[in-house]
Structure 1
């Protein structure tokens, strides 16, 4: 299944014992293999894969799907001069403020060092602050890529605050020749709109003059990612990343916009389907009490992840309040759904029991079971529909709370 490809894809990196020549050859060969795997991953239909796995009673494959969606290591890199703008951009991606524990602004590492900032809520999401591309001539992109372990990162933001030097163009051309598609030119700006467009135009013309064809430059406000081009950058990321990687990134990003909250809700809808498929598969096994225990445990995991992703836990709401200068208690009071404030087994079990008892559950199950369950497991249809109904209802309630909290914070 696609998990094998994901494991191999995430393993790419440079071996310290190899010579620079060997490393460059290794880099090129790995990227050629990577291209083929990315094509496979982008063509994966998650629901069809789950159906096939259930048909063959491969519950372990469905469990792997849950793990891939709940735990998927991501490494993002931010390249550029160490400046207030870059630190603010890094903090915004992590959903923290200067002075918060783990904030980029608190680091005292040397300028040439690689700095790693784990996400405070999602430890498998790591943000790397990389040194700037040296403005030297001649510049050797391969040496820089080797030094910063370029293949480690799933996404690279190449940041600058003024017209980029020729060395940046050289790095872009080298990345293009290696078919690296998730490198994004990010112009960190603040000021009037007319000045920003002029700055973008100057940067694009400078890159074209240095041989970069059709460069795309995103205008980004470091401390207000909901503004300018960052939402459009995320749209491009969704197209460029493999589906599972994009889901993992989406779940780890802070709730920056209402549109992002909606995307998170949809992503958790896919995860709810996976969990319901696993629930139905186990329910088809005639072992007393196993299904109910697994149902509630799995539902708790999914909803804990949703709470963290939607930034509804106390710590996340408090960080958002500090970033936007709002009163934390006021934002916390907007959480109407009990699961938004705290995910408890008692509340999850109550929702599962209520979904199972609903008359509409039987009607709901018929169409869904045809899509997800093989004939020999159709008896588990009610468990499938109940789990899906309970999770989707909870996720919808939590997403509504997240939208209200965000709207109040941005008002």
Structure 2
């Protein structure tokens, strides 16, 4: 159909308005938008920018087809804003690793086809990777490229390893030096004490959110990479109650990870450490975390330190601007720690005057003590008990 055809009622509309119409069509049906793109060259160019705004590779054949399309449309890669790569190891073929990729400056003999395809996405803002570990090195090289993924803001990394092992974060370590990245989620990775072991180190990065999900991370390495963000605001670290395989790099002391966060103490607003196997040998000292408003951990003894034969030389130092304190596991397993928690609540106006809410869980074999409930009521602290029916 020609642009000036009498049957084309959309032809007089400006491109800006057509883009809005095509976006609405695309939200309802990508297939219908594909049909529209075949009507004429003008519609094809406008629809192309919407169809390829976010892509998902579920099989190696998907990125093989896309790579071939780059020979016809070299600029198509620059249209992509978001990319999700997700397929199991069983679907990875040698053909997909050696496919030619027009527009990529990486040599096919050294880098796999998927990594070279990603390198053509010059305006990519979101990258979600869940692919076999065979592609670990190639994608990691892109993060070290000075001109690749220059607009990236959000990234999720997970590489499938044999026997469900942890993948080596050293292969992708330059993701922490990315200047524009704001949110990073890493799943089932390991990182040893070397951390960012390179002479050339970034000065300030834009990273604001860091989530480490079921990872085996050395606390010294974490301290090293957290020196780069200019203003990290949210930190999340989780692990299962019985990690498999066994952790080799992680510390067993929650205090080591709080120390690792010290370089971000001026900007952190939320810290979540859902790591049940961590112990607390000493009370946490977090008075320097001047911006922290939310603290979420597993056990009360991780905050106050386990009771031992040695005398307690330090009291807990809550963040001065703390508003919400949450415990993922039941309270009351250490009576001395419970007494210290009640004492802290009674002195809320002194230790953390903005502390408004405490969230706990109902235990299977013990309830939250009445003394703790009464202390919260008496001193204006809202107590939310998950799994408890409030009869009042």
TM-score (norm 2): 0.32
Give the structure with higher Rg (CA).
2
Q: Normalized per residue, which structure has more strand?
A: 2
Q: Normalized per residue, which structure has more helix?
A: 1
Instruction: Tell me: higher relative CO, structure 1 or 2? Use CA pairs within 8 A at least 6 residues apart.
Output: 1
